[in-house]
């Protein structure tokens, strides 16, 4: 699993990205606004989506490699 964090030049926007095997989970945090999450899936793979996210719910995504 790779993890990368970037901060905008102004220092106000923080972008967190977790990635593995073509999947990406991105969280963008801005002051005074709710965090934005999005998930990208590789071509021809299952899509992972989050619907109706709110702060009362825990968001978790688990990746595991299946034996081939």
Q: Place 8 in a pLDDT band, splitting at 50, 70 and 90.
A: very high
pLDDT of residue 21: 82
With tokens 């993890």, the residue in question is 3
Q: Give residue limits of the domains in the chain.
A: 2-40
Closest among 5, 32, 34 to 19, alpha carbons compared: 5
For the residues 2-20, what does the mean pLDDT come to? Answer: 93
Residue 68 has pLDDT above 60, yes or no: no
What is the pTM (predicted TM-score) of this model? 0.65
Residue 46 has pLDDT above 60, yes or no: yes
Express each pLDDT in 12-39 by its tens digit.
999 999 998 888 888 899 999 888 888 8
Q: 40 CB contacts (<8 Å, ≥6 apart)?
A: 23, 24, 26
């Amino acid at each position: 699993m790779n993890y990368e964090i970037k901060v905008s030049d102004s220092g106000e926007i923080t972008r967190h990205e977790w990635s593995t095997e073509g999947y990406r989970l991105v969280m963008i945090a801005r002051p005074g606004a709710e965090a934005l999450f999005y998930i990208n899936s590789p071509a021809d793979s299952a899509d992972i989506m989050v619907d109706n996210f709110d702060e009362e719910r825990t968001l978790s995504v688990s990746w595991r490699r299946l034996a081939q």
